Structure 1
Amino acid sequence: MVKVAPPKKRVETPSSVKAVVDKIASTPSLQLSTVFPPFVWIFGKGDIQHWIVVLNHFDDFFAAHVAPRVQLELKRSPALGHPHGGPFPSDACLWILRATAVILDNCSNKQLYGSTEHLSSLLASEQIEVAVAALYVLASATRRAPGARSNRFHSDHKLRARLLALCSGLGDTARQGDGGGSSAGGGGGGDASPPTLVLGMSVGGGGAGRKGIGISASDDAGAVHFEFYSPRGADEVLGDLGPSGSRVISASNLHLDGLSDHATTEQLASEYKVPADLRFSLFARVRLAKLGATPEGASTAAQIRLLAFCILLQSEGGSGGASGGGGPNGADDTLGLVFLTEPQPEFVAELLRVLRAEGEGLPSAVVELSLRVLAALAGDRSHQSGVITVMRSGGHPAVFSALVASAVSRLTAAPSPPVGAELAAAGLPKLELDAINAEADAPVPLAEALVSLLSTLVTTHGGCQTLRDVSLLPVLLPLLRNRNARHVHIVSHAVHVLEIFMDYTSSASAAFRELGGLELVVERLKQEAEDALAEHATTHGSGGSNGGGGVGG
């Protein structure tokens, strides 16, 4: 396994970062989740070279506890009994994966990250939470800066094949959602509105302001349909595969079989003689089918599909290089490759339906990932024009405008935790401060995804026209009043979007002045200058500052 190599040229690590790096690296990896609270970022813009020691410490954990587990390669026969090494240390693994995602989200030089082979293996983890966390790390590693055409992230054949398998069903859910609503319960009163079908979920409906998600009645619960070609020969686990030819697996109600995803896959693979190189494709169908049989599971399945699609789209070469590094596994994966490389207006419309249903009880993670996928599509050459065309039609600008206004309102309404001298004077108990920080952070993921999409759109002519349709200035300007220390990065990105947008059109500059934007900027600069002077006076008078840590709230 390739670790992160130290830089040839010495890179100076800030003292506050080094203190946290040393603390994490000196802690045994199996104890990280018990010694430290969830990892949070408090360092400003970072460089992954500052965190090489930590990332290599994490890689040692993967080498010891992930690489030896052959069941993650789906090559273990049921007759072999308990997998390698006893119970998997999922708590430690989750802490490491989530900390890694935070580091990658906040650092440059992400292309140096070298543990993707282990992440690829974890996509087959028996614990769904671990598999999803691995996808989030890959999404962070592949995320491009707005306007960038490349991120120098290369995925190997194994990873691309697994991601394609996890995308399975995206095209089906888009076509299903385009067909209108379908009530899972049937009947209903005259005032009951039909639910909206998005990404395999039934959202809202039922009248009386009902919110929440269900599952589509048009789907066979827990059903798998898998077509594949089996070559003639022998398999190391199954033995003789029988005669060559096309085969079809059709099974339903898999969520009722009482077996784990691995056990169900092994059972079907043994019965239908599925070759080793197609076994993860079958496993992905089994997992997604079982998840899709419950409302909560359907939400997780939607997140898995969206994450896998976004990672593939943003890997080196984008949609244009999707066929590189080996072909897909199975007929359904071939369809997934076509879905990735060709414009998909139905899928874009499906993502916009997610935004429309945002206030109907749809999980925020699904909305956030839909925005991330829209940003990735809008930044991809083969999809860009199609995305913008759909976004400018069918009332979508109004939906997008309402979402921006809602996100700004939530950020503004969130509590502002005390910092610096205010924090010392407040003397708040840690539990109370953690609660305030958590409430302040709650609207951040959605706002970050939204600003990412805005930052991508504003770099193109068509995108700026879309933002003009959205009436961007009136809905985004109130964000300049937000002084919350935990929202500074969002405000900074929003200001950058406004700068580019006003460069695009002189009418936007005039509107900015008419709406009081100039006064807002001047007032904010004045307040920030006063804060900086006060902080300097405080630290100068006390002879220094307390460094603080990077682990914990």
Structure 2
Amino acid sequence: MATGRSASMPSRLRQLLSGEGSIGPSIRLDAEPPPEIKSFIEKVIQSPLSDIAIPLSGFRWVYSKGNFHHWRPLFLHFDKYFKTFLSTRNDLLLSDHILDDEDPFPKYSLLQILRVMQIILENCPNKSTFDGLEHFKLLLASTDPDVLIAALETLSALVKISSSKLHRSGKLIGCGSVNSFLLSIAQGWGSKEEGLGLYSCVVANERNQEEGLTIFPSDLDNNHKEADFRIGSTVYFELRGHSAQSIHDGTSSATSSSSRVIQIPDLHLRKEDDLVLLKECIEHYNVPPDLRFSLLTRVRYAHAFRSSRICRSYSRICLLAFIVLVQSSDAQEELASFFANEPEYTNELIRIVRSEEPIPGTIRTLAMLALGAQLAVYSASHDRARILSRSSISFAVGNRMILLNVLQKAVLSLKISSDPSSIAFVEALLQFYLLHIVSSSSSGSTIRGSGMVPTFLPLLEYTDPSHLHLVYLAVKALQKLMDYSSSAVPLLRDLGE
């Protein structure tokens, strides 16, 4: 049986390679938008602004390779929506009147706008003219995890570095003043040295969710594990150079020090929402506007421990923020600061990917995408490579083999499962190895494909339409291996004998 499969592989591979154009559509950038795009945009613009979600709700990408210029009128319309419904909201501006908004938060409309923006950005290569990042500073101040995730996914689609940009032919996109917000969110619950590494927080939350327990049961002894959790649920925030009162354990006291601390423990026990807790700090501690976002982020993470579901959402938020930050072309200072505090972050990501713990597929996939984002930017930017050289992004042979084993297991699992999260995880792994092959070739490194080829080949047998994009990625990776590696061609020949 194995012999028959091996014998058919080279012919199957040649067939797929010869038909690559039918899998990946060619780019055609017309000056004028196609009639169907113009019609859709006109339909959205002609609808009342308050009902914008109605024409957007059924949007799907049914076009050829996109041209961002065709969609600019729609993005200008989105800009109008943001200015009308977001720019004066006290809860997003984090103003002194943070709880005084009379209009309900337009969550559904925002999610539809962000969904459509993300789809368009994912399908348009020429998106460097995107404008409107200032609105994302407002969106990232939302206390709704769904809005945060949607905003970060949209930014991720904007800054994503594809394999075609690794030879520095493509223009990288920066996030400007949003970078400082991304850094604050990407830092999550704290550093590994504090007992709050991303892996430990993710695993602890999933274990407690499986057991049906709260993360902080009141009858637990004060052991080391509980102490780590209590650090995570405590807001600890330093204010420097601002005269105010300090609030500690719920009581306030005057202080003349130029450095003061807000410390509120056990936020998981508080029933108020995040904005109420922030307003309490603002009023009792006179927090200046420029520090409120960072404080809100500490409140959001500490308060997330009140619910396993919310804590899982913030694990996703933390990973997404890092994915955007590492690919933002003008975030050198923020990344240097991040890795100064978290030099082991790459290893944390690998631990999540390879873990045998019951980690959700969405989080495992995001961890893999974060590894791929680091690898892409390491190869695409000299400045960024110097910063990332502090981490283990060079991926020693041991780490590459670990990830290959993970990919092999994930590919085999597709035969017995059609779980979308499993498909997304395999796609993230394949994208990583495609980046690895292309980046190694661009740096002059020798690629040895013997470990990769047997892992990719089983995908060529898959005929399920939902797996077609995985087959395409596997074929593309094999094609690059044959172009760049002298060891891959004999191996493919041997498999056909």
SS at 1:387's partner residue? coil
Amino acid at match of 1:376: A
Distance 2:115 2:282 in 1: 33
SS at 1:111's partner residue? coil
Distance 2:206 2:103 in 1: 43
1:269 pairs, out of 282, 298, 301, with 282
SS at 1:110's partner residue? coil
1:347 corresponding residue in structure 2? 345
1:356 pairs, out of 354, 360, 367, with 354
1:355-396 deviation line (CA, Å, top 9, x unaligned): 112x63312221121111111222321325843455533xx4
Distance 1:387 1:213 in 2: 35
| 1:151-230 correspondence to structure 2 within 5 Å | 151-157=171-177, 159-169=178-188, 172-173=191-192, 176=195, 197-202=199-204, 215=215, 217=226, 218-220=228-230, 222-230=233-241
Deviation at 1:465, TM superposition (A): 7.9
1:460 corresponding residue in structure 2? 439
Aligned in 2, Cα 1:264/1:163: closer, same or farther, shift over 3 Å? same
2:150 corresponding residue in structure 1? 133
Aligned in 2, Cα 1:294/1:258: closer, same or farther, shift over 3 Å? closer
Aligned in 2, Cα 1:478/1:103: closer, same or farther, shift over 3 Å? same
1:203–1:213 contact (8 Å) kept in structure 2: no
1:48–1:107 contact (8 Å) kept in structure 2: yes
Q: Does 1:477 align with 2:479?
A: no
Amino acid at match of 2:346: V
Amino acid at match of 2:411: V
Amino acid at match of 2:182: L
Amino acid at match of 1:292: F
1:298-329 deviation line (CA, Å, top 9, x unaligned): 222221221222212111145xx225xxxxxx
1:30-73 deviation line (CA, Å, top 9, x unaligned): 43444554543233422212222222222221111111213312
Deviation at 1:116, TM superposition (A): 1.4
Amino acid at match of 1:144: I
Aligned in 2, Cα 1:13/1:376: closer, same or farther, shift over 3 Å? same
SS at 2:238's partner residue? strand
SS at 1:87's partner residue? coil
Distance 1:244 1:205 in 2: 42
Report the number of matched residues: 437
Deviation at 1:468, TM superposition (A): 4.4
| 1:260-299 correspondence to structure 2 within 5 Å | 260-299=273-312
| 1:531-550 correspondence to structure 2 within 5 Å | none
1:250-274 deviation line (CA, Å, top 9, x unaligned): 1112232222211101111222222
Aligned in 2, Cα 1:290/1:148: closer, same or farther, shift over 3 Å? farther
Q: Does 1:369 align with 2:366?
A: yes
Amino acid at match of 2:461: R
Deviation at 1:219, TM superposition (A): 1.3
1:309 corresponding residue in structure 2? 322
2:90–2:97 contact (8 Å) kept in structure 1: no
Aligned in 2, Cα 1:368/1:269: closer, same or farther, shift over 3 Å? same
Amino acid at match of 2:338: F
Distance 2:459 2:49 in 1: 40
Deviation at 1:137, TM superposition (A): 0.9
2:96–2:282 contact (8 Å) kept in structure 1: no
Amino acid at match of 1:156: G
Larger CA deviation: 214-223 vs 276-285? 214-223
Amino acid at match of 1:67: S
Matched-pair identity in %: 28
1:54-99 deviation line (CA, Å, top 9, x unaligned): 2222222111111121331211336xx531x510111111111112
| 1:391-406 correspondence to structure 2 within 5 Å | 392-393=397-398, 396-406=399-409
2:115–2:150 contact (8 Å) kept in structure 1: yes
2:70 corresponding residue in structure 1? 50
Aligned in 2, Cα 1:450/1:16: closer, same or farther, shift over 3 Å? farther
Deviation at 1:111, TM superposition (A): 1.4
Distance 1:292 1:466 in 2: 46
Deviation at 1:348, TM superposition (A): 1.3
2:494 corresponding residue in structure 1? 514
Distance 1:212 1:402 in 2: 32
Amino acid at match of 2:337: V
1:66 corresponding residue in structure 2? 86
Aligned in 2, Cα 1:136/1:480: closer, same or farther, shift over 3 Å? same
Aligned in 2, Cα 1:284/1:496: closer, same or farther, shift over 3 Å? same
Deviation at 1:343, TM superposition (A): 8.2
Unaligned runs of 5+ in 1: 1-8, 179-195, 235-240, 324-335, 416-438, 520-553
Aligned in 2, Cα 1:307/1:464: closer, same or farther, shift over 3 Å? farther
Deviation at 1:244, TM superposition (A): 6.2
SS at 1:45's partner residue? coil
Amino acid at match of 2:195: Q
Aligned in 2, Cα 1:203/1:273: closer, same or farther, shift over 3 Å? closer
Larger CA deviation: 146-155 vs 120-129? 146-155
Distance 2:405 2:286 in 1: 52
Aligned in 2, Cα 1:34/1:385: closer, same or farther, shift over 3 Å? same
Q: TM-score, normalising length from structure 2?
A: 0.77
1:203–1:360 contact (8 Å) kept in structure 2: no
Deviation at 1:474, TM superposition (A): 0.9
Larger CA deviation: 148-157 vs 507-516? 148-157
Unaligned runs of 5+ in 2: 1-28, 216-224, 246-253, 379-384
Deviation at 1:198, TM superposition (A): 3.5
1:177–1:199 contact (8 Å) kept in structure 2: yes
SS at 1:322's partner residue? helix
SS at 1:202's partner residue? helix
1:96 pairs, out of 104, 113, 126, with 113
Aligned in 2, Cα 1:153/1:390: closer, same or farther, shift over 3 Å? closer
Distance 2:310 2:146 in 1: 11
Note the aligned Cα RMSD (angstroms): 3.6
1:212–1:361 contact (8 Å) kept in structure 2: no
Distance 2:395 2:259 in 1: 38
Deviation at 1:288, TM superposition (A): 0.7
2:182–2:322 contact (8 Å) kept in structure 1: yes
Aligned in 2, Cα 1:295/1:442: closer, same or farther, shift over 3 Å? closer
Q: Does 1:144 align with 2:142?
A: no
